[in-house]
Chains A and B, each alone.
Chain A
């Protein structure tokens, strides 16, 4: 099952995990978080641990840090940090290793720093906790570290509070903190997942650069094979608490041995430079025509003090033909989500027009728009938050149409048919959302939107919260639905690879404006604007080009 582990001389290995099993508390869906896993992190290398949610990759990292919650225990095995077994070590000894021999950075830089302490104080704290240096020397070292991770004006940065920093800057502070005592091993738990693609590229580069300069050993946890291809020396693939495959990055990526690895690699949305074969529809007139749409956010009080004005959507124009999909891509703050909300009138626009089937809906009042609402539906990002946990799936599906005058019996039959259509059992009708996985919930969300037989679907980051293998299935489902019903789609995403798979045309947004619009072949192979070029170059893992049949065309 597991590729053999080459015997390596102990001094070559910074971290060695042997036959590690970690128990889960009783009543969970499985008994072990990880079972009998063994791997080595060689000195001066980057080891990527890749797996989907529930694979046990984060539990492994926490076990190495000695930070497992009390209810989760290591039941057997050994973890050797720099040749010392830490299993069964006293909490005090473990504590003295943390931050000094092994450091960790986390996924969400926005919440990983204490909001009440300055950046400098938080870096200082690591050194003080291990009794290193004097107050003065620690301060000097902190500023040196801030310089090293590429933060501007380190002297000023030292006195800043985290809330003043961007996500990327905060992650740099986290890295500075982790490097403070020059640890042997750095554990990075999905450190770029919450970041924009251009920021992600910079942080990956920083980690690789520091690792090379310091000869550090890095254990990098990720769910993204693109990231693996960027930085890994060797790879461990985990599934449901087991290691299914491990080896050099070259070997695992180019000739994966285990079917799960092959599935995972195949499921990674590949940047395709190929255009989708458009759906032929009888009616060619655009279903949606957006002209000079504007939305400006105003913050602060107009009466007292200064007012902040942020143009979220600025002179945006495009049109969308029936049965086509327009991708709207951009980084956080680009205005792509505001645009989606404007189109479905969850937000009122400040100017411009939205012509839906020839009628300007931008100026309609809430009550005038209400009869049209069923025809424009939305699929939301978080399938865990967007379904009411107290309602049955059947209620979630039927409540809307019934409110719009459909008899309940008819709505129920349609709901059951739709559930089957989106790949769920019709028995789902009487069950509650918590009984379903993330992917299944997103199918429920899609079925809910389809109940209205909409003409236009707006999907806001509809697959971003899902594992890659689930992501591929949902994209396929959306494609299939479009071909059957001829619905038009606006697909909002931060992930250019996903957009390249499902969209006929892509609009790239930056600071509220559409900077470039065109078919995927243009956007990815021949981008016209500098910003698009930058975005495409930042995509981890691969260069664009025709690779394999496009899933959306299958």
Chain B
């Protein structure tokens, strides 16, 4: 286990290095450069811009800028936003909770419902339920999320008036109930796609497990069908799903760009889009590193979880 962790850690560091170099290069090769936004302000003269360049250290060679940025990053200083001068980590911190709330809820819904649909589809293969689930998943996967979002807003907000059309809470009303009220529509819309994906994977994993010899052994022992499925089939079917969950983990914190935009949800997806539009390079780079670390962490956590659950890996 220790060797495995050391191995993974060294791989991860190299990966982060590559991601940061590529990110840094691509951003700085974009036309316009980091000061384009300031140039749009008619009150800014060329002298002002040059002074700003000097102040922000943007007149140094790219390599120096990168090394300086990377060195500060290692020390926990992720730089300051060009927009309001706030530290990048603080900016991320302001948005990450909103995203966590939305994505966490929708993922929880997706895993619970998707797992159930997947297991039932596999144990009742080719039944009406299975066919409906298959068609439903295809529909949910092929229609873009923003369409579901807009239709949801049209029906439940405009026509029926049951749910708010956007935002995370009503200004002036910070009650839990108010948050929940705002959460329902975006999280359900977002979970549609995830239910579809999750249920398809779960169905396949369950079918794989159900055809194993040990399931026949379990039946031959006289176990109830319920126990055969819950203990022997699902236990083994969930193993590959852990890895899938690990891949999904980063998206829980980095947000859903489209859904957050449709519902004006103040999350990470929106932050990324806005920062790009504003050429707020420090924030964009910060978000890039943040999601890269999450991807690595997600996979690592999944691998460790599999090792904990699967004795063949834990003890082998």
Point out residues on A near B: beta carbons under 8 Å. 65, 67, 91, 95-100, 103-104, 106, 108, 111-116, 125-126, 129-130, 161, 163-164, 174, 177, 301, 303-305
Q: Tell me the complex Cα distance, A104–B309, Å.
A: 28
With CB as the reference atom, state the residue of chain B lying closest to A180.
Answer: B221
Evaluate contact between A129 and B221: CB separation under 8 angstroms.
Answer: yes
* B217: contacting residue among A91, A112, A303, CB under 8 A: A112
Q: Tell me the complex Cα distance, A177–B219, Å.
A: 13
Chain B residues with CB under 8 Å of A126's CB are 221-222
* B213: contacting residue among A112, A130, A164, CB under 8 A: A112
A116 and B213 in contact, given A65-B220, A104-B220 (Cβ under 8 angstroms): no
A116 and B222 in contact, given A111-B213, A129-B227 (Cβ under 8 angstroms): no
Q: Tell me the complex Cα distance, A221–B7, Å.
A: 49
The B interface, classified by DSSP as helix, strand, loop or mixed, is helix
A96 and B222 in contact, given A67-B216, A112-B217, A114-B236 (Cβ under 8 angstroms): yes
Q: Tell me the complex Cα distance, A129–B220, Å.
A: 11
Q: Pick the most buried of B4, B212, B217: most chain A CB atoms within 10 A of its CB.
A: B217
Q: Tell me the complex Cα distance, A104–B216, Å.
A: 10
Is B74 part of the binding interface, using a Cβ–Cβ cutoff of 8 Å?
no
Evaluate contact between A99 and B221: CB separation under 8 angstroms.
Answer: yes
Chain A residues with CB under 8 Å of B222's CB are 95-100, 126, 129-130
Q: Tell me the complex Cα distance, A91–B310, Å.
A: 32
With CB as the reference atom, state the residue of chain B lying closest to A174.
Answer: B217
* Size bracket, chain B contacts: 20 to 34
Min Cβ gap A181→B in Å is 9
Chain B residues with CB under 8 Å of A98's CB are 219-222
Evaluate contact between B213 and A305: CB separation under 8 angstroms.
Answer: no
Chain B residues with CB under 8 Å of A304's CB are 2-4, 6-7
Chain A residues with CB under 8 Å of B76's CB are none
* B216: contacting residue among A100, A106, A164, CB under 8 A: A106
Q: Tell me the complex Cα distance, A111–B225, Å.
A: 20
With CB as the reference atom, state the residue of chain A lying closest to B313.
Answer: A163
A116 and B3 in contact, given A129-B222, A163-B311, A164-B315 (Cβ under 8 angstroms): no
Q: Tell me the complex Cα distance, A114–B231, Å.
A: 10
Evaluate contact between A129 and B310: CB separation under 8 angstroms.
Answer: no
Is B218 part of the binding interface, using a Cβ–Cβ cutoff of 8 Å?
yes
Is B214 part of the binding interface, using a Cβ–Cβ cutoff of 8 Å?
yes
Is B174 part of the binding interface, using a Cβ–Cβ cutoff of 8 Å?
no
Chain A residues with CB under 8 Å of B230's CB are none
Evaluate contact between A106 and B213: CB separation under 8 angstroms.
Answer: yes
Evaluate contact between A129 and B224: CB separation under 8 angstroms.
Answer: yes
Evaluate contact between B224 and A95: CB separation under 8 angstroms.
Answer: yes
Min Cβ gap A487→B in Å is 39
- Between A and B, 30 residue pairs with Cβ closer than 8 Å are A65-B220, A67-B219, A91-B225, A95-B222, A95-B224, A95-B225, A97-B222, A98-B220, A98-B222, A99-B220, A99-B223, A100-B222, A103-B220, A104-B220, A108-B213, A111-B213, A114-B232, A114-B236, A115-B236, A115-B311, A116-B235, A116-B236, A116-B239, A125-B218, A125-B223, A126-B222, A130-B222, A174-B217, A304-B3, A305-B3
Evaluate contact between B214 and A112: CB separation under 8 angstroms.
Answer: yes
Chain B residues with CB under 8 Å of A301's CB are 3, 7
Chain A residues with CB under 8 Å of B219's CB are 67, 98
Evaluate contact between B312 and A161: CB separation under 8 angstroms.
Answer: yes
Q: Tell me the complex Cα distance, A303–B6, Å.
A: 10
Evaluate contact between A106 and B217: CB separation under 8 angstroms.
Answer: yes
Min Cβ gap B306→A in Å is 11
Q: Tell me the complex Cα distance, A95–B315, Å.
A: 34
Residues 227-258 (chain B) with a chain A CB within 8 angstroms: 227, 232, 235-236, 239
Evaluate contact between B216 and A303: CB separation under 8 angstroms.
Answer: no
Q: Tell me the complex Cα distance, A497–B225, Å.
A: 43
Residues 92-150 (chain B) with a chain A CB within 8 angstroms: none
Evaluate contact between B312 and A111: CB separation under 8 angstroms.
Answer: no
Q: Tell me the complex Cα distance, A67–B4, Å.
A: 43
